Structure 1
Amino acid sequence: MAHFSHPASDNELIEFVDKWASLLESEDYTAAYSLTSHDKYMKWTPELIREAIKSYDECRPEQRVTVVGKFTDISQRKEVTRWSINRHGYIGEIWYDLNIDGYASDLTATFGILESSDDLTIELSDIHVM
């Protein structure tokens, strides 16, 4: 599970999500699931992560996430936003648009950044079309 020493730079957090996306690219949904913590209300499983990706374009169930995207007029969003710790322990979030078959898409993974006394934990919040 994703634990970073506090503080972690935005680049370190994005590199972590790139690693998560590379596991999706190899279609190792179990490893991708194991890499993050999970929003308890979303009830994520490796199978549900796979389904969120494979159902993006129902006409192409063989589609997959790719880390590297081809150059187009649409750019992939990889964004870290931070704030003061809230009552739930969150100090920020990461928005990461997934490349599908090499192209930036509007399928976005969002992650919460949780702070404890020693470290930061990255929590998969959602994967949805924006």
Structure 2
Amino acid sequence: MDTVEKLKLENNLLREQLAEARRETHKSHNVISQISNFSSKLGSPIALHEIYRNCLHLFNDLLTLDFTTLFLVSDDQKDLVTYDTLGFPESLVGNFTVCRGVGLPGLVFESEQIETVEDFSTENR
């Protein structure tokens, strides 16, 4: 391979890297914009349920999730109750509870530690 061909290949590789860097920069700007918009809403009078709903949308968009559910601790501090959801039936709201230590939400509740799920198709907690 002659020098010109090597330079062409290197140039193409650099173009691809630049395009990827531009995509990541655009994505970062989008994230910052969404967080800024969300935080500006917190500075104005807004109902708590609207804040929760905005959080769900923010998480859903930023993490590109299919489903997002917000659980709140029950009044007796024993269970988690579905407070809001995106992607699941609305009938779950207020009607679906998770016991401490059961399922992924229950494990997070019990351990008070963040859990990461790499692939829900293989998740078994």
Give the TM-score of the pair, scaled to structure 1.
Answer: 0.25
Identify which of structures 1 and 2 has the higher relative contact order when contacts are C-alpha pairs closer than 8 Å and 6+ apart: 1
Instruction: Name the one with the larger strand percent.
Output: 1
TM-score w.r.t. the length of structure 2 is 0.26
**Between Structure 1 and Structure 2, whose CA radius of gyration is higher?**
2
